[in-house]
Amino acid sequence: VQLQASGGGLVQAGGSLRLSCSASGGTFSRYSLGWFRQAPGKEREFVAARRSANGNTYYGDSVKGRFTISRDNAKTGVYLQMNSLKPEDTAVYYCAATGTGNYISSAYFRSSTYPYWGQGTQVTVSS
């Protein structure tokens, strides 16, 4: 599975960005996709995930209510719509895919659940 993330950039606080993650090289319906982020000097943090089997979505506490993950129209990837951005959202955002199979809900919050990773895309929010 190959993942391609795009859509990062520079935005002012309060603004919006939409990230895209495209998947190829596998049967998309068998993989769930998620987003993580990592700011300089900090650990990688779970942002959001979409469970492929039933469409359930999961969000990290720091982005709940502001970010939305959804499947793209071509059904080969996901979007991450980020609204009401804050300077603390500044990070490199990574798209990741799980292996095939079903997982308990809590697993989607852990980076170790995702064996496939794309390159990151930088999001910078200015104050």
Residue 52: the pLDDT is: 87
User: What gap in Å lies between CA 61 and CA 51, rounded to an integer?
Assistant: 18
User: Is residue 87 exposed (0-12), middle (13-18) or buried (19+ Cβ within 10 Å)?
Assistant: exposed
pLDDT in tens, 15-51: 999 999 988 887 767 789 999 999 999 999 999 999 9
pLDDT in tens, 72-111: 877 788 999 999 999 999 999 999 999 777 788 999 999 9
